[in-house]
A = this chain, B = another copy of it.
Amino acid sequence: MTPPRPEPHTPDPTADLYDVITRRRDVRAEFSGEPIPDDVLRRVLTAAHQAPSVGLSQPWDFVLVRDAATRTRFREHVLTERDAFAAGLDGERASTFSRIKIEGIVESSLGIAVTYDADRGSPQVLGRHAIADAGLYSVCLAIQNLWLAATAEGLGVGWVSFYREDFLRGLLDIPSRVRPVAWLCVGPVRAVADTPDLERHGWRSRMPLEDVVHYETYGSQVTR
């Protein structure tokens, strides 16, 4: 990775936040496999590392995996878990799922395993005493920063969650106290879909905002 660039990042004309949030997709099939320029990768990781974290603990780590053998082994494991999920589906669900590609592990340019280290900032993490998972939440905030920055840079990101945490620990020599949170497939793409894959394939449709907004209490769900 290149050293920090002394000059500030020049905003990309397509990097408007709302535009990026709308364009962001969970990419599976469209990776081109082209390399990610070092300066682009650094900006994306820097964005992730600027996320908020409970007690400023920054409890995330990013393992950059380019090795083909490692990625092939991970993919084999993921396909086994895919089969396990498929085995529990009936009829229409099984048929719909069979058409959905769930990962681009070897086609993407880079795998990024994101992990959570609960010991970071310990023993007294400010804001975590009442909610043990608050550190885990911080890691997810970093992932979303990474995802949006990658989108602004024209890269695709696909979050793979068809894996067992212990398998990934073993694969990447992750200590037992550290928890794998995500495997992200990252890289240039040939195209970005307008609609989420799962909606396009008829797995599930997006809900209107009104369905998830409540006023004053959870029980009252009146759209104004």
Q: A11-B19, A204-B57 are in contact. Are A212 and B62 (CB under 8 A)?
A: yes
Closest Cβ neighbor of A13 among chain B residues? B16
Chain B residues, CB < 8 A from A161: 54, 127-128, 130-131, 134
Tell me the chain A residues, 52-101 only, with Cβ under 8 Å from chain B: 52, 54-58, 60-67, 70, 81, 84-85, 88-89, 93, 97, 100
Number of A interface residues at 8 Å Cβ cutoff, please give it.
102
List chain B residues, Cβ under 8 A from A164. Answer: 130
Complex Cα gap A81–B88 (Å): 43
Q: In the complex, are the beta carbons of A218 and B174 less than 8 A apart?
A: yes
Which residues from B are CB-within-8-Å of A61?
212-214, 218
Q: Is A9 positioned at the interface, with any CB of B under 8 Å from its CB?
A: yes
Complex-state Cα separation, A129 to B164, whole angstroms: 10
Flag if B204 contacts A55 (CB, 8 Å).
yes
CB closest residue in chain B, given A138? B140
A141–B151 CA distance with the chains assembled, in angstroms: 15
26 A-B contact pairs sorted by A residue (CB < 8 Å): A1-B224, A9-B18, A17-B17, A17-B47, A21-B50, A21-B145, A21-B148, A21-B149, A22-B50, A26-B52, A42-B209, A56-B206, A58-B207, A61-B213, A63-B216, A84-B129, A93-B124, A129-B162, A131-B161, A131-B163, A134-B161, A137-B143, A137-B181, A144-B144, A144-B145, A173-B218
